């Protein structure tokens, strides 16, 4: 009898998550983004929202006999969820809000296997230095904010904005590696 690894599916279209997964030595058998409604519920706490999104994506992509990895990254300033900006003006507004202050980045990771979903939320506190209007304009013009929660990518040009963080750098990028590796290992997926 041979011990075969289960089929791994990444339920995300994020190239960053694919790159981070590769850092664990893993290449998914399939990339199958889950299309779910990502609208926060009225008065929904940030942590609950992140968990609900990750679990919902894993459940939507799950099929029998597969291990499905899903994640959701939520940037929040206080109780306000800063989603993916829909315009350059909204991206600039997010950066002005984050300028000179701390904010939280929570990434929930969900692994669906065998009819069950294992879930882990990793929170990181990030501090942005005060940003000059010209820096915000240049960043927005770069387009790097597109498709990114909070309107920035810490793995890119916005790294210069964040002199300090407490928590998981890879979690801010979109996939906390230590926690992801543990969840996948528990589901029988190892590099």
CATH assignment at residue 95: 3.90.950.10
Give the whole-angstrom CA distance, residue 162 versus residue 152: 11
pLDDT band at 3 (very low <50, low <70, confident <90, very high): low
| Helical pair 88-98 and 133-142, crossing angle rounded to 10 deg | 140
Q: What whole-number distance in Å separates Cα of residue 7 and Cα of residue 66? A: 5
pLDDT tens by residue, 62-117: 999 999 999 999 999 998 999 999 999 999 999 999 999 999 999 999 999 999 99
**What is the rounded CA–CA span in Å between residue 185 and residue 19?**
18
- Residues annotated catalytic, as ranges: 72
pTM for the predicted model, two decimal places: 0.92
Q: What is the pLDDT of residues 36-74, one digit of tens each?
A: 999 999 989 999 999 999 999 999 999 999 999 999 999
Range of the domain at 127: 7-186
Give the tens place of pLDDT for each residue, 130-147. 999 999 999 999 999 999
* Domain contains 2: no
In a domain, residue 29? The reply is: yes
Tell me if 1 is assigned to some domain.
Answer: no
Asked, for residue 176, whether it belongs to a domain, the answer is yes
DSSP state letters, the chain: ---PPPEEEE----HHHHHHHHHTT---SEE-------PPPTT--HHHHHHHHHHHHHHHH--TTEEEEEEEEEEEETTEEE---SSHHHHHHHHHHHTTSEEEEEEEEEEEETTEEEEEEEEEEEEPPPPPHHHHHHHHHHTTTTT-GGG--TTTGGGGG-SEEES-HHHHHT--HHHHHHHHHHTT---
In a domain, 83, yes or no: yes
Domains of the chain: total? 1
Residue 61 lies in a domain: yes
Q: Is the pLDDT of residue 25 over 80?
A: yes
* Residue 191: inside a domain: no
C-alpha closest to that of 117 among 173, 61, 44: 61
In a domain, 64, yes or no: yes
């Amino acid at each position: 009898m041979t011990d075969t690894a289960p089929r791994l599916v990444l339920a995300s279209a994020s190239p960053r998550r694919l790159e981070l997964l590769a850092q664990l030595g893993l290449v998914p058998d399939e990339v199958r983004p889950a299309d779910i409604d990502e609208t926060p519920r009225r008065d929904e706490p940030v942590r609950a929202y992140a968990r609900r999104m990750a679990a919902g994506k894993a459940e939507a992509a799950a099929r029998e006999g597969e291990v499905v990895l899903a994640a959701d990254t939520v940037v929040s300033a206080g109780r306000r969820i800063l989603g993916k900006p829909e315009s350059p003006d909204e991206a600039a507004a997010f950066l002005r809000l984050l300028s000179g202050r701390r904010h939280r980045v929570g990434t929930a990771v969900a692994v669906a296997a065998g009819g069950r979903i294992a879930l882990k939320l990793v929170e990181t506190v990030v501090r942005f230095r005060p940003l000059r209007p010209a820096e915000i304009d240049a960043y927005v013009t770069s387009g790097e904010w597109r498709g990114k929660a909070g309107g920035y990518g810490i793995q890119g040009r916005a790294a210069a904005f964040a002199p300090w963080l407490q928590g998981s750098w890879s979690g801010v990028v979109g996939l906390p590696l230590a926690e992801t590796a543990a969840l996948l290992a528990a589901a029988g997926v190892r590099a």
